A and B are shown apart, each in its own frame.
Chain A
Amino acid sequence: MILAAPPTHPGFLSPTGVEIAFLLVGLVTLGAAVVSVTTKQLVHAALWLVVALGGLAVEYLLLTAEFIAWVQVLIYVGSVVVLLLFGLMLTKAPIGRSPDADSGNRPVALAVAAAAAAALVWVVWDAFRKTWIELDGPAQGSTDVTGETLFRHWVLPFEALSVLLLAALVGAIVLSRKKPEGERD
């Protein structure tokens, strides 16, 4: 379903409040992400990642996808970042500035990323110049809506996902156990 621009919308140059909020939070998210990948302090990188992920959660809320916003906070901010911090700790990452946080590949990475950004942004902008999201109706991502669709239409993938999580669990345990003496593989 492709919606043409409804005549009630004023046009690009007069954004609604949602848009302003989205823009501001987006700026914060982007800034935090940029700092996260460029800072020389490893632990700070993880913390700035928290900011970025949290900003994304707010964006999800602005897009009326509230269940996903809370799942984002729960899983990403709650466990993924914690795991990352644990990893940094267990691999004895230096606290404070480490001069070799960036590898020698930096110029190439910059070039590739800049080119990709230019291309993607231009394509996306060109494609969706005249499309608006209709946010006035019922919430698209409320919990009951999400639960209903998940357990009615997406049950099988959901169960498969739990098997995958089990496999990841087992795999992580097997990978990181120390070999007992006398046993070789």
Chain B
Amino acid sequence: MHLAYPAVLAALLFCVGLYGVLARRNAILVLMSVELMLNAVNLNLVAFDVWLRDALHAGQALTLFTIAIAAAEIGIGLAIVLMVYRNRGTSDVDRLRDTAEPAESGATPESTDEKAEAAA
């Protein structure tokens, strides 16, 4: 089999998952897209392992490990999403804005002037 088939399919799946991570609003949908990306990686690993006929089968072993870790990750990830939902009432990614710059009323450079002086 031409190696291009699995390789290109993996690349395309990865990018689809990438789109999903960046575009979806619900946290669980983001986790789903992350799963897509991990699976793309797994496909790549398996394809290259078969092509290289590795004696240690490192590719396949790593694939198994990736699957296990993805499972663990989805468990923790969902626990976190549930906590967030419990505390905030929403699991929308763009409602979680704690790291944002606090919005000043009339946020202009002049008012940051006094803040800088107060801090100095």
> Once the chains bind, are B16 and A34 in contact (CB under 8 Å)?
yes
Q: How large is the interface on A (under 10, 10 to 19, 20 to 34, 35 or more residues)?
A: 35 or more
Q: Are B60 and A121 in contact (CB under 8 A)?
A: no
Cα distance A15–B20 in the bound complex, in angstroms: 32
Total number of residue pairs linking A and B with CB closer than 8 Å = 261
- B contacts with A, residue count (CB < 8 A): 71
Which one of B5, B15, B19 contacts A26 once the chains associate, using CB atoms below 8 Å?
B5
A90 contacts B by Cβ under 8 Å: yes
Q: Specify which of B15, B25, B67, B78 is in contact with A113 (CB 8 Å cutoff).
A: B15
15-43 of chain B: CB within 8 A of chain A = 15-29, 31-33, 35-36, 39, 42-43
Q: Nearest residue in A to B33 (C-beta to C-beta)?
A: A37
* A63 engages B12 (CB within 8 Å): no
CA of A168 to CA of B41 in the docked complex: distance in angstroms?
A: 22
Interface of B toward A, CB cutoff 8 Å: 1-9, 11-29, 31-33, 35-36, 39, 42-43, 46-47, 49-53, 56-57, 60-61, 63-65, 67-76, 78-83, 85, 91-94
- Report the 8 A-B pairs with minimum CB-CB distance, sorted nearest first: A109-B22, A37-B20, A168-B72, A113-B19, A117-B15, A109-B23, A120-B11, A175-B79
